[in-house]
Structure 1
Amino acid sequence: MKFIGLDLAWSARNPSGAAVLEESGDGAVLTSSGVLGDDAEVLAFLDAHTSGPCLVAVDAPLSVPNLTGQRPAEAQLAAVFGKYQAGAHPANRTLLGRYNGGVLRGEWLRDALAERGIWDEPADVADTQARVCLEVYPHAAMVALFGLERTLKYKRKKQGREVMLDAWDEYHRHLSALTGAKPPLTGLDALLAVSPGGLKGAALKNHEDEGDAVMCAYIALYAHRFPARCEVFGSVAEGYILTPTLPERWKLT
């Protein structure tokens, strides 16, 4: 089984993070990570890694039937994770249609994967022969997996660089701790050897995208091993988000 993470940019003109985990013992090892370019490069990467059983976890809306507003998935996620500042951006066709000539990139990817026999079906996440794609959201997952009181502020926003770099230090510590987590993840040495303090501009954004793709892939691994510890907000028909959920909600899923 391979677990593939994509931090998919809404516009094909922007880079997307990508990562591949391969099953190893009771966990997985990171075997590939980096950034991808246009649609052709994304598909070439997927074609190289999805010949067998695989879960492809994508941080981008895979189904957006609503013209305006938000999907039920975002509203339901916010009801649980909003107090941790981990609500997702509203997804609608008007907003996302501003990119790629009106073609929603997540839906394009979902359809391209379906043509390759990889189906958008979160109910099959535990199947050892699954060929499934999933919509995921790393920020909510980090809250649940890392026991955070609020999301890590490592994104390039308006906060000061010192705040951002402190958040990066914490993010790297949590990623490093995955070597002893259940399930464990190894092979992160090269990624964690990068110092965000020495990066600016596109280099920093690429590191961010790559790290988020690793988190997407780990969400797929975690959901495969512990489906009862995960929650699906929304529905396949109206759009959904799968994420590891809070421990107090495990018995409710």
Structure 2
Amino acid sequence: MLKLKGKSIVSLMLFGAVAGVGLSLGTTTANAKTFKTYPWKYGKTGKYAWSAPKDDAAPLYYTNTKKNGYIWNKSFTKKLHNIKNYQYTSWYVQKSFKRNGKVYYQVTGGKVSGYVWHGYVSPAISKKISTFKSDSSYIKYLNSDKSQKLSRAVLKYFPNAHVSVDLSRRGAGQSVDNKPMTTAMTTSNYKHVINLTALSHNLKTSYGSTYSETILNTLDFPVTSTNAAIAKTVNSILVKNGYT
């Protein structure tokens, strides 16, 4: 949550599609456990097995190596990319499988996709908001953790804002004592609360029709574009709605 100068309280709740990326982290965490396997028909040495994460949704990953590590095509006959050149890319893992005894991931990051050894990437899973006891510790986390790249990109458009861990907990609907089946925290004790996440703009389809996209929609698909591009779209929606 962001507190601007004066009495205005701005509620900007940023939710990553699967990683819990955002200023209001709440208890959103990703579950990458597998629940069944399927035959994977590509590769020179026959059929391999790949495992689909629960609901086909794995957390976002980031590159964790600066050494040569290649992203391959389906049949592993061509090196498509060197992952060391994508230090700031957020990867979405669509499936995992074994090939010659090693686990590989099918990854997509913006316009780049292919198959990579799992050891070259690590999950960008955010911490629960309840683990932060002060604004300073929360801000340090937002400024440094790789899971918060989208948060940092958006925060650049709020240079005069103060990040409040209390508001973030309330915006995420965290329970009063961090236990289930208790009253959720709300922003009712704050004045002038504005839910910026619900603001929208109109876009045109390839068929000429229009549809409405909210800031939440924009933030909900972080792998379809770069973090900078998503943040720019968020800002453009804010500007169109009178929030400069």
TM-score between both structures, scaled by the size of structure 2: 0.23
Using CA pairs under 8 Å that are at least 6 residues apart, name the structure with larger relative contact order, 1 or 2.
1
Higher helix share: 1
TM-score between both structures, scaled by the size of structure 1: 0.23
Higher strand share: 2
